Amino acid sequence: MTTDRQTLVDWIDADRERLIDFLQAFIRAKSPNPPGDTRQAVEHITNFLDQEGLEHEVVAPQAEMPNIVAAFGDPVRAKGQDDPNGGRHLVLNGHIDVFPVGEGHGWTADPWGGEIRDGKIFGRGACDMKCGTTASIFTYAYLHRLKDRLKGRLTLTCVSDEETFGPWGARWLIANRPDVHGDAMLNGEPGSPYNIRFGEKGPLWLRFNVRSRGVHGAYAHLSEGAVKTSMALIGELMALEDIEAKPSHNIARAIDEARDYLNLAMGEGASDVIPKVTVNIGTIEGGLKVNMIPDHCSFEADIRLPLGVEKETIMAEVIKIVGDRTDVEFEEINFTPPNWCDPYDDLAETISAVAKELKDIDTMPIVSLGTTDARLWRALGIPAFNYGPFAHGMGGADEHVEIEEFLHIVKTHTLVAYDFLMATG
């Protein structure tokens, strides 16, 4: 007798070319952010949902950045209800927008072409994250076919504006649509099929403005200049990297156990920076002419907080570093706190079990260097996990995803969603 789980796998195998075609066309539906116009890509998704007969809603608080919300299943049980047979509410989340390409330097394939070469699909968004969003969409479609036998509720959110922290995307939905909160969230952001991401470092972005007396470049005795002052200040800010993180025991254990997996997913050395504060000076601008001592310089610092370091600790040190300098001003331009959920949560264990079943993959819970929409669910105390492909070329030239890896992500998400919903609450 064929089980529902085997039926799901068979559907995916039969849809191999359809899945590949969908992802290729998804890549061709340009959605770089900035500027963030995702309407062409949204139309690609809604056309598919219409063909499948799946009801959905387009939610567009900003007209050029629409979001898609769809759901089916019994209303979720009230939080705290002690019902051993109660269904659970799982949210499948993926973003539609992608990094811009610019002039396309370094690409050997058309960034918007979806070309297949050597078993890989090339194009902007191939791994970040149109692969994962495709997995969410098809998972939703496959499970809808079994909706009469499923417990609980399944919600799909395809969102815009993730690359700019989601004010019109997931952030807006979380703030205005409590029906998308759920009991848990599954997301296909890139990382590695060997990793389940349960947490993220937190970016704190600061802008510094330095002013000084501007004079002729030959009169160096009259003014140090804003650029030199900025250079000295940047040197002092690097001392923030010496602040020690103090995560909880289970988080520290998970990070330590995942060292090899962290390096595999994010490059050699990732395991060393995950538990540390890092400081990057992303932009710097000052001066008008080579033979003038500049009267103004501005720079922006991207400070990444690991789990176990509070924003207040960083800000207190920055205030100390600036000290009584009257020529320096700074402001916060963005902050997302470090975030995490239980690395051994039931949903994480389900992902691990399915990955092992499908590909004999041993997974490890890890913390991510970058931020994802998962942080918004975690901020509400809702377990949220990322499981996606390797980040080949993410944000750079020749971004791609291996076809077999893409299909593995689709199968994993589909079976994980099925298993999660069929388990008792």
Residue 122 and residue 25 in one domain: yes
Between the CA of residue 315 and those of 234, 269, 320, 380, what are the distances in Å? 15, 27, 9, 25
- Percent helix, strand, coil in the chain, to 5, is 35, 25, 40
Please say which residue of 286, 315, 335 terminates a domain.
335
Residue 399 and residue 264 in one domain: no
Please say which residue of 335, 364, 388 terminates a domain.
335
In 3D, which of 147, 46, 40, 135 has the Cα closest to residue 87? Answer: 147
The pLDDT, as a whole number, for residue 80 is 45
Range of the domain at 392: 4-200+338-422
Task: Give the separation between CA 101 and CA 399, rounded to whole angstroms.
Answer: 10
Residue 196 and residue 206 in one domain: no
Residue 184 and residue 109 in one domain: yes
Residue 162 and residue 279 in one domain: no
The pLDDT, as a whole number, for residue 271 is 87
CATH number for position 302: 3.30.70.360
Q: Domain count of the chain?
A: 2
Residue 323 and residue 394 in one domain: no
Distance of CA 364 to the CA centre of its chain: 18
| DSSP string computed for 113-152 | T--EETTEEESTTTTTTHHHHHHHHHHHHHHHHTGGG--S
Residue 82 and residue 195 in one domain: yes
Please say which residue of 335, 370, 392 terminates a domain.
335
Residue 207 and residue 310 in one domain: yes
Task: Give the separation between CA 4 and CA 415, rounded to whole angstroms.
Answer: 10
The pLDDT, as a whole number, for residue 77 is 54
Residue 36 and residue 59 in one domain: yes
Residue 99 and residue 174 in one domain: yes
Residue 173 and residue 65 in one domain: yes
User: 207 forms bridges with which residues in the sheet?
Assistant: 300, 331
Cβ contacts of residue 363 below 8 Å, gap of 6+?
193, 194, 195, 196, 261, 351, 352, 355, 356, 387
Return the amino acid letter for 6: Q
Predicted TM-score (pTM) of this structure? 0.91
Q: Alpha-carbon torsion 205, 211, 215, 218, what sign?
A: negative
Residues of the chain with pLDDT under 70: 1, 75-86, 424-425
Three-state DSSP class for residue 301:
strand
List pLDDT tens digits, range 412-423: 999 999 999 998
The pLDDT, as a whole number, for residue 78 is 44
Q: Are 114 and 30 in contact (CB under 8 A)?
A: no
Between the CA of residue 78 and those of 126, 138, 150, 182, what are the distances in Å? 38, 28, 18, 11
Cβ neighbours, 10 Å, residue 210: 25
Residue 8 and residue 137 in one domain: yes
CATH number for position 187: 3.40.630.10
